[in-house]
Structure formats: C-alpha cells, structure tokens
Structure 1
C-alpha cells in the first residue's frame, strides 16, 4: 500500500520508486488514481473522495513520511541502501523531524525511547547518553551521522539538525561494519536536514521546567537555475535549570548542510559544532554494596543522586563530505569522508550504598578526554538481470580511525551520608589535577569490506539477500602512571568475516513476511595479569541473531511483529584452568509488536509492546546460569496518541503511556527494581498570524509525578520528575 493512503480509496496504487538525477531530497506528488471496483456503488454527487498518493523519491534522498507524519515509509539500511519498510528484511523505524518537534525531543534517547517498546532509556540527563535495544546496551559513540559511523556528537546528541532519526533493531555488522563501541542490540542513525524546494525560515522558542529556556532557528534555501544548490542552517541555544534540584543544562549548536544535485552526480557537505555544559549531573551514579539485601524506595525525580558541584562540558566539531556519481544508468559509485574532534571535561561522583538503612559513601572522579575520529567509505551499487532473477548488488569498503587521550583521577571519599537526605560534602581539591599528564591513550582502527546481493524473483514478490563483511580490528591501550611511566601497553589486531542471510516475501501488496540471520562484532578483551594466557587479546566476540517477522500495511496504519533470538558471548577467567577465554553467554529471546499511522481520520497511534526473556546461559558463577540477565525489563508497553479535535480546527490533543516492567539489579537475581508506569499529556495548536504559520505545543511529562528507579540498576538514578514543556514555532 502507498504511505499516506487512507484505506477509503477504492483501489490501491503501487508505490513507484523513481530513480532521478536529483539528490538529498524526498519529493512527493499526489496523483489521482480512482477506479471503482466491479459492483461498487458510485459516490454520491458532491461527496469527497480521498485520492491515492504516488510517491516519487529522489535518488539518495530520505523516504517520505508515512500517514500521520510521525515516521517515514522507509529508512537507510546500511549496505543495502534506502529501502521501503515493507521490503526491508529487518525491524526498522525512522522518526521524522515533524515527530521530533511535536514530541519536543531534544536528545536521542527522547527521540527513540518514547514510543518504541524495544528501546529502554535508563535516564534522561546522564553525561553519557546510553540506551538498550533488545536488552543490549548501546551508546552515543556508536551513532551514525550522515552515513558515517562515529561522526555523531560526543557523549550526547541533540536532534535539531536531524531530518530523520533511524533505528535498526538487532546486530548490524554486515550492514554498517562493526561500531566503535561494539553495540550489538541495534543501530541508530542521524540523517541531516537538507534544503527543500520551498524556502523555509522557522524560529522556535522553548521552555522546560524549572527554567530551561531555548531558541532554535532553522533556515533552508535552494539556489540556481534548476535549484541545484541547497543550503540548510540550524542554530540552537538552551540554558537554565532543569526540573531536578541543583541541575543545570546548557547547549549551543550550529550546523550547516550544503548540497548540490547535478544531472548525473550529487554532493553534500555537512558541518556542525556543539557545546554542552551540565552541572549537578553524573555518570557512575549509585551502586549497591555486598551487604545490601533490600533496595531503598525511589524518591521523586526532582531529587538528585549527583553532587551539586559535579559538572561536565562536552564539545564536538564535525564535518562530513559525500559525493556520488552515476557511472551508467545501472551503476552508481560513492565516496564519503568525515572528521570529528572534541571531548569532555568532567567532575563526577561515584556513590556506594552500604546497607539496607541507606547509608552510602560518596567519592569523586575527575576525568577528561580529547580525541579525533576519522571515518570514510567507498562503494559501488548497481543492478542487473539474469534470466528471471533481478539482482541489486553492492560492494563497499569502510575505515574508521580513532585516537583518544584520557586523564583520570580518583579523588577519594568526599562524604559518608544517607540516601534519604544526602550530604555530598565539599567539592574536592583539584589544584594538582592539571599538573600531571594523561593517564591513558587508546587508538582504534576498524576496516571492513562488504558485499551484498539482493535477488528478486516472481515479480519481486520474493527477495533474497546474501552478504559478507570482512572486519579487521586494530587497537592499542597504553596506561600511564602519574610519574609518566607507561605501566601497561596492550595491542590488538584481529579480524572476522560475518555472513548474513535475509529474505522478504510479499504475500500481497499489504502483507509481507521476512527473516534474517545476522551477526554483531565487539572488540575482544585482554587476558588479565593473573591468567595463564596473560596479555593475550581475544578475537572479536561474535553475537548472532535469528529473526522472523511480518508487516501489515493497511495504507494509513501499519502493524509489525517480530520474533528474535540474540546470543552474545562474554569472557571470564576460568577458576580451574586459570585461562581467560570466551566462556560466558547471554541469550535474549523476545517478541515485539509495533503500530504506527492513522487508525482513523484524525487519530494517530505510535507504539507497541515487547516481551524479552534475557537469560544467562553460561556464567563463571554456575548458580547464575538460567537466571535473568540484570538490567533488562521483561515487559515494556508504550503508546503515543494524537487526536485532532474536529470542532476546534488546528487543535490536537496528545498523550503517551509508558510501562516498564521489573528489572533485576544483579545477575544472581537477589535485587530487583519494581515496574513503573508513567503518563504524559499535552496539546498543540496550529494557526496563522499575519499569514505566518504558528504552532504552539505544551506537554506535561510524568503527570502524576511518579517516583521510580529509572535504570536497569541503581546507577540509573531516579526517574524523570513532573516536567512542563512549552514551545512555539513560527514560519516566516
């Protein structure tokens, strides 16, 4: 079915993906396609008829929005290129810029975790943004920007310069190459904004309680006789107090996106610079000591588990240059190169809960990181036909280089206090911190070569994808003492080849089934000094996924169902042989149901439910085998609702319900965090002032001010308190 079609039209128009010589933009045009089926009654004279939509998509551009505008009809799938979601043999979703603005989502976690039941975001304003996908941890370091891994903002991201935020669930080494951090639960990609054919000048003001104010300008223009040049500029500033006591947050970001589309070639340059200043925030959070047998009850999220003197400054400057050319009508070549510089400067607390009475110790950690990352890709993509079989093939090579210098110092215990009324003590003495040099230097090189062939049979009803990616990992880790002596030096050079198999069977234009086998790779670890094989570096860990699913597109409303199994190995020291090896394993089995689109005119749904059985199947402590893996909710259900109030044109009521199930805080399953349910409500109103479109949005997060533990363990801290969001956007 065609994205945006209401289902009330009497026939189905096939989607047309038209290869043009344009780049960077998704163009859509409405075409009348009205043919009454045999025996159908003619519409009454004067009755409104909803016409079908035929979608034209520019080569290299983003997919058009699906009905309701919250998600896109397709997304990028790494080596396979851009694909419609009904023809994608994986579980994917792409959130649109419109959805991000309406949700007032200002970071990646808010963008992808609000309505997706496969994604769990442990906290909102940790200095290092993390989330789990299908029960496995991922982070900002592994987010792709403009098609290149490692080019997204350091530590944390913002969304104002993104046209799409795309999520692929499950391991992704074959599709993208091994991510720098080794994430295996899924892949997240930021797609930068491009100038549209229509001029855009939009200014948005925002407010978040208690006094976090923001201003965002978004300007886009196209130039040239055929509008071949495009320029998109975004500038954001936010600063003030959050709804958490003693917590401040400031962001300054500017981005420029330049693109050119010629007759047989396209090019783009993306640049952004971001600085984030945070106070009263944390990274390590709270851990439970061995004497703790009962976890304390969570307090309201307005209370902090970070010292008021803690801080973090995070800076990123990045550019990505990309070009592609049509060598023939059937073969396209492309190349891309990106460079990112920056790091963070932080003072954090690390607290340990000592007993069931809530006593705890607070220690301070000073940390600084500076680094440079370079990412590049070369590729060829084409198509040909052999007999009755069509082939879409791709060959690609990637390279990622990273050099980071760290300077860490543990500053000792600053306070012994109680979690019910913490006294964080005075800020530690930092006078000697800058006198010493770095404490650690980490270099990493990731190179890969991938090939893929999607074979299309039976009028494209059956599509089989076969592929391989050969991944090489090189790294070095140098530890440096306070006197400048290099105390430990470990190097690593290993490689693996990851196969992939996937299929899509389109039973009808509205119903497709898919399946895949795909692997993920994570860097192997070094054997500790007390191991028989001390210093040995293990080869990359191979995570395996098997997935089966179905997708039902009713034109304006879609439902997807996925069943998956992911097995992820881990290493530990065998207590008998004293050999360090890959003996451990976690197996996650799950089922996910997702819905999106317009279930009825003016009523939009986005969300779903998931059940994940995260089990430790092999462990160094045999008693833990068969137990639930820590930090993974067994059940999650999320639903976002939008309802257009017909008697009041322009008014839309919004709401979101988020239920997160019980999580175990330890692998022995003796400590657990209770389930919680959070309700958000809101509204937006669209009008015109002097011919200029105006949209006002208001949201109350956690209406009931529910107190809950946010993370998979205590380190996640307290959940988000009741928070008021308000924004106003005007187009000029």
Structure 2
C-alpha cells in the first residue's frame, strides 16, 4: 500500500469476497471495517488507518505514532464514550471539565483543542464540547503529535479521528440494550445493507436512546443519537459518500473543587458527592454533515472534493467549591459555591477540501504526488454569562441547593464571538526508491485570519514536513519524521480570569523516530519523540497566557493484536519528560508542564478458552502517573491505577442469528483519584458495572 493515496476511489462492490478484493486493488483503498478473525472471533489488530494524510494507509508504512481502537476492542471493554476508548493510549489525561459532562483531553502534556483536534472520517472538524457518541463508530484513532501538513492549525497533542460505520459486504441487522448498576438504560439499532444490481448503493443507519444515571448522587440525564452513512458507486470513475449524524445529551453539572481548596485536603473527596445545585444543566446539541466525491481522472490520477458542516450548541452551569476558611474549612467542610450560567453557546465549523493525487515515475523512482487546498471556518457567537451570588455548601455533607434558588447578576458578562478562517495550500511528494525506501517531502502554506470584537490578526506562514520510511522486511519498518506546525494556543479554559479568550497561534516543531514489527498476530511499535512548542498555561494571576516554550520528549511503545489464536492484547506505555522554559518567571523555568504524567500505561487482554469458544473473559489495568495541577508545580496529583474485568457469551439463535451477553466492571477496587488537572478539579468516577445484550441476524 503506498504511504499516501488520498484521493483513491471510495466505494467497492460488495457482491462477493473476490469482487471486493479486486475493487480494493483497483481503488487503492481498503475497507476500514475489515476485521481480523481468529477461531470465529475478532481480534484487536488493525491493518489500516484513516486519520490525516495517512488515510487508508498500512500502519506499517505510517511514519507517526497512531493508536487505533477498533470496534472489537471497544466492544470487549463495554466502552460508551471517548474516555473509555482513549484510556487505551498512554499519556492521555483530562482537564477543566467533568468527565460526566464533556471530555477535555490532554495528550503528551498538550491540550487537545475542542474545536480543531477532533475529526469525523479523517476530515470534518467536529466540536467536542458536546460528547461524541461512539455507538455508530467503527473505530477511534489518535494521531499523536504535530499534524500541520494535512490539518493546518491544531495543537501538537494529536488528532482524534472517529470513523463511522459503513455498509460492507456483509448485511448488518443488530439491536441491543445496555445499562449499568447505577440505573442507566438504553436501546439501539444498527442496520447496514448494500443494494442495487451491482451492490453500488450502501447505507448504514444507527440510532440510540438512553437514560443516564451516574455514581454521583443526583447527577443524571439522558441522550440520543441518530446517524446515517451512505455510499454510491455512481460509475466506474465516480464514487460518492454522505455522512450525517445528530446527537443530544442532557446531564447535570456535578461541581468542581477549586485548586485553592484541593491544596488544603489530605486526599481525594468522596466521588459520590455532588456539590453543584440540583438540576444545574449541561445540555448539548450537535449536528455533523459530511459529503465527499472521488473521481478517477486516469489510471494513476484522481480527484477528491469533500465538504461539511459541524454545528453545536451548549447550555452550561458551572459550580466551583472553595472553603470559606483555610483554617476551619478543611476540618468542618464548610465552604461556598460560586459559578455562572451560560444559557446559549453556539459553535459552527464549515469545512471544504479539494485534492489531486497521482503517480509519476521518474528515473526509476515512483512519486506519489498530492496537491490540495483546505479551508476551515470556525464561528463562535457572542455569549452572555450570568454569575450568581455565592451560596453555602459543605464538602463532606453536601446539601441540595435548587438551581432556581440562585440569585443571578442582572447584567451578564459578554464573551464576544469570533470568526477564525484557516486556509491551507499543500503539496506532498512520496518518493518510492525501490521496494524498501520511501522519502517524504511536503509543505503547507498557512493563511490564517481571525476576528474578535472588531479586533483580530492575520498570519501567513510555511510549515514543512520531511521524513523517511525503510522496510527491512515485509513485516517491519523504521521511520523518521520532522514536522513544523502552527497551533492555536486555544481558548482560555473554565476558571481562568480571561475565560473564553482566544489566543493567537504559536509555532511547534516535532521530530520522531520509530519502528514497527509484526509479532505473531500482533503489531509492536516503539517511538521516540521531541516536541518544542509555545507554552500556554494559567499564570499566578489566573490568566491563561502564552509565554515561553515547552519541551515535550519521551518514548512510547505498544503491542496490539493476537499473541496466540485465543489471546488478544492491547498494551501501551509512555515515558514523558515535559519541561517549561524561557517563561520569564524564575520559579517556573525547569518545572514540569502541568497535567503531564511522567509515566503512564494501559494493559488489556481478552481470552477465549478452547472448551468454550463462545465465551470471552477480559481484564485490564490503566495507569496514570503523578502529575501537577498547576504550572508552578505547587500541587501534586498522585498517580493511580484502575482495574477492569469483563466477560461475554455468545448464544447461537435459529437461522444463523446470535445473542451476545456482556458485563464489564471499571475501577473495581473503587480507587479514589483526581480525574482532571487545572484550576478546577473533579474526582474520578467510583466503581461502575455495565451490562449489555446485543442480537445480530
């Protein structure tokens, strides 16, 4: 598989396996819902990635650290959201918001921007202020590090890509129900078909609706999701795709503990406690629409055009607990809640991309060429935020405070809207020198404009990419890459004095050296990385600023797949040394970047005993090392391990159908830990037990 064939034909006839394989060879694009089958069960190994410039690329030929969580792994763990998916890749933490309401991820010590670092099908920027559902997703991918060539302005933490389920060669008719020990319940359907005389049409429909209960007292809600993924092989040359999804979620804000209050505690408070007022809302609505057309111009050249829209709205009430007295508060629990309510936050991402790709042989070297232009327009409307008069609360014995009893300020704080336009023109040359060596060279011209409250800035820059991949054998590869990029310093987070302010982009540089090797039915990877970037943090005045540089370097390793015919594993670990430099604050220079654990890792295994081939048992452990909540390293968040166990059993029904029963338990030791870093801390969730039943016909 060439390292990049971005504009390959998209859909394949699905009448038979041989026809499908032929279509894959002709189009240069493999179906991403293919699965490794071992003794009638699916394993964890994946063969291809879709994220960024590596779309439909063999993982062995991908010169970057990419973690792929396929549907089989997500099902084995009973995953219900991105948090459960990304815990399988090390170095991922959360910050500023409760995992109950939304995910604000950090990778390699760098915050993932909620409006630039999350993608649907490797393309559309989705807004992660509204939790992304995964019931209708075939896989979750995380491309770590700088990704400027293809994605333009984005933080060098990584790109999270969610890949939609699509109709394949096998018809899908599935219904399922799930729930947990807290009282949650939900039902869903998954239907997939190819039809037409030659299987030229495909449709995959998904729907889910459920009631949410959490381990936090009185924090509950509901959600639903509907989606459709449609394909049409209009002719031998033209293929069309359309994806649409809409999802809604309504939960309660549980309330955070301010960093000042957490400093006075001897440990993590009871994770069952809710501090926020009763019915303090966190509601989100999101709609994503993505269309794509692929046209084969000639044997070796093709054109891709795609565009889409991501729209999201949010209602949010914040509640932050602090002690009224630093002396008596930690002993009695007496404190107060302060916060605000934003009734309408509106975000919109408009996306369009056009690409021309083809092959050009010169003097025995085969060049895979890519020329493209992409434009992302982000719109954030003005927001009116209403603060409320602080009210009494107790950390150890929280009282129920009706949300309607709060006294809000008559005059709201205005957070001005903004419009950011990121336009990029890029070119990439992948030079295949013989069968074993690939040389990579590319550049992107960045044209970035932003407007905010009648003020803004314009930025023009070149961001180069270079690298090489060497294949010592058919089952191994070595690579080295150098990438420069521009990253948005992001938006000042909740709790900052300048909350909501958008900071200008800064430069980041990354070097990575890595190796991969097939071992039995698994793939082993190891990589060393070095990132130098502008440093953003909360300063002593509680302002979110960009000042100085940060150096993030470390080693990451993983093993994923089938180590024996009946044992599937997903193992990963990371060592990270993230240091602040040139900040202008003597006490801060040389300190570790906040919320960046030095050690982290995950281990998950599923075993299928030979005497009971329809039974699977699993176990996992997920470790996050000690990290600091603030830039001055004045408050240390202890490391922790959570342990998971699971089991599933498949019952064979009449006419070839199956019923799969599953149970999963997370944090079974009921470990107390801080789930987030930053100015506002949230306790990790207490023990959870989930169960599901899924039929497939």
- Which of the residues 100, 106, 124 maps onto 1:149? 124
- Which of the residues 371, 378, 396 maps onto 1:402? 378
For residues 91 and 31 of structure 2, the distance between their equivalents in structure 1, rounded to whole angstroms, comes to 23
Instruction: List per-residue Cα deviations over 1:470-525 (Å, max 9, x = no partner).
Output: 112211222xxxxxxxxxx4212112211111211111112211111112322369
Higher alpha-carbon deviation: 366-375 or 57-66: 57-66
For residues 266 and 337 of structure 2, the distance between their equivalents in structure 1, rounded to whole angstroms, comes to 17
Instruction: List per-residue Cα deviations over 1:86-124 (Å, max 9, x = no partner).
Output: 1011111222223222322221222122x2113234577
- Which of the residues 64, 68, 83 maps onto 1:94? 68
Match of 2:313 in 1: 343
For residues 447 and 603 of structure 1, the distance between their equivalents in structure 2, rounded to whole angstroms, comes to 46
Matched, 1:467 2:437: no
Q: In structure 2, the residue corresponding to 1:110 is in which secondary structure?
A: helix
- Which of the residues 624, 638, 642 maps onto 1:660? 624
Matched, 1:79 2:50: no
For residues 510 and 683 of structure 1, the distance between their equivalents in structure 2, rounded to whole angstroms, comes to 32
Matched, 1:274 2:238: no
1:582 to partner: Cα distance: 6.4
Match of 1:421 in 2: 397
Match of 2:224 in 1: 252
1:545 to partner: Cα distance: 1.0
Match of 1:165 in 2: 140
- Which of the residues 202, 207, 212 maps onto 2:179? 207
For residues 669 and 220 of structure 1, the distance between their equivalents in structure 2, rounded to whole angstroms, comes to 51
- Which of the residues 41, 58, 69 maps onto 2:43? 69
The 8 Å contact of residues 397 and 448 in structure 1, kept in 2 or not, is answered as: yes
Instruction: List per-residue Cα deviations over 1:186-210 (Å, max 9, x = no partner).
Output: 1111121211122211001001231
For residues 144 and 573 of structure 1, the distance between their equivalents in structure 2, rounded to whole angstroms, comes to 27
Match of 2:93 in 1: 120
Match of 1:563 in 2: 528
Matched, 1:378 2:354: yes
Matched, 1:628 2:599: no
- Which of the residues 424, 428, 452 maps onto 1:452? 428
Q: How does 1:162-311 map to 2 (within 5 A)?
A: 162-179=137-154, 183-261=155-233, 262-282=235-255, 285-289=256-260, 293-311=263-281
How has the CA–CA distance of structure 1 residues 731 and 400 changed in structure 2, closer, same or farther, with 3 Å as cutoff? same
How has the CA–CA distance of structure 1 residues 178 and 380 changed in structure 2, closer, same or farther, with 3 Å as cutoff? same
How has the CA–CA distance of structure 1 residues 509 and 295 changed in structure 2, closer, same or farther, with 3 Å as cutoff? farther
1:221 to partner: Cα distance: 1.0
Higher alpha-carbon deviation: 356-365 or 560-569: 356-365
How many equivalent residue pairs?
A: 666
Match of 1:326 in 2: 296
- Which of the residues 525, 545, 553 maps onto 2:518? 553
For residues 16 and 551 of structure 2, the distance between their equivalents in structure 1, rounded to whole angstroms, comes to 43
Match of 1:23 in 2: 11
The 8 Å contact of residues 44 and 562 in structure 2, kept in 1 or not, is answered as: no
For residues 371 and 526 of structure 1, the distance between their equivalents in structure 2, rounded to whole angstroms, comes to 13
Match of 1:50 in 2: none
For residues 712 and 57 of structure 1, the distance between their equivalents in structure 2, rounded to whole angstroms, comes to 49
The 8 Å contact of residues 66 and 556 in structure 1, kept in 2 or not, is answered as: no
How has the CA–CA distance of structure 1 residues 543 and 306 changed in structure 2, closer, same or farther, with 3 Å as cutoff? farther
For residues 505 and 275 of structure 1, the distance between their equivalents in structure 2, rounded to whole angstroms, comes to 46
- Which of the residues 581, 584, 589 maps onto 1:617? 581
Matched, 1:355 2:326: yes
Match of 1:387 in 2: 363
Q: In structure 1, the residue corresponding to 2:417 is in which secondary structure?
A: strand
How has the CA–CA distance of structure 1 residues 293 and 649 changed in structure 2, closer, same or farther, with 3 Å as cutoff? closer
The 8 Å contact of residues 415 and 424 in structure 1, kept in 2 or not, is answered as: no
The 8 Å contact of residues 117 and 607 in structure 1, kept in 2 or not, is answered as: no
For residues 538 and 408 of structure 2, the distance between their equivalents in structure 1, rounded to whole angstroms, comes to 37
1:355 to partner: Cα distance: 3.0
- Cα RMSD between the aligned structures? 3.2
How has the CA–CA distance of structure 1 residues 57 and 584 changed in structure 2, closer, same or farther, with 3 Å as cutoff? farther
For residues 608 and 695 of structure 1, the distance between their equivalents in structure 2, rounded to whole angstroms, comes to 28
How has the CA–CA distance of structure 1 residues 712 and 347 changed in structure 2, closer, same or farther, with 3 Å as cutoff? closer
- Which of the residues 616, 633, 637 maps onto 1:669? 633
For residues 696 and 567 of structure 1, the distance between their equivalents in structure 2, rounded to whole angstroms, comes to 48
The 8 Å contact of residues 13 and 200 in structure 2, kept in 1 or not, is answered as: no
- Which of the residues 679, 688, 691 maps onto 1:726? 691
1:341 to partner: Cα distance: 2.5
Match of 1:35 in 2: none
For residues 434 and 220 of structure 1, the distance between their equivalents in structure 2, rounded to whole angstroms, comes to 52
Gaps of 5+ in 2: 493-501
Q: Which has the higher contact order (CA 8 A, sep 6+)?
A: 2
Q: In structure 1, the residue corresponding to 2:74 is in which secondary structure?
A: helix
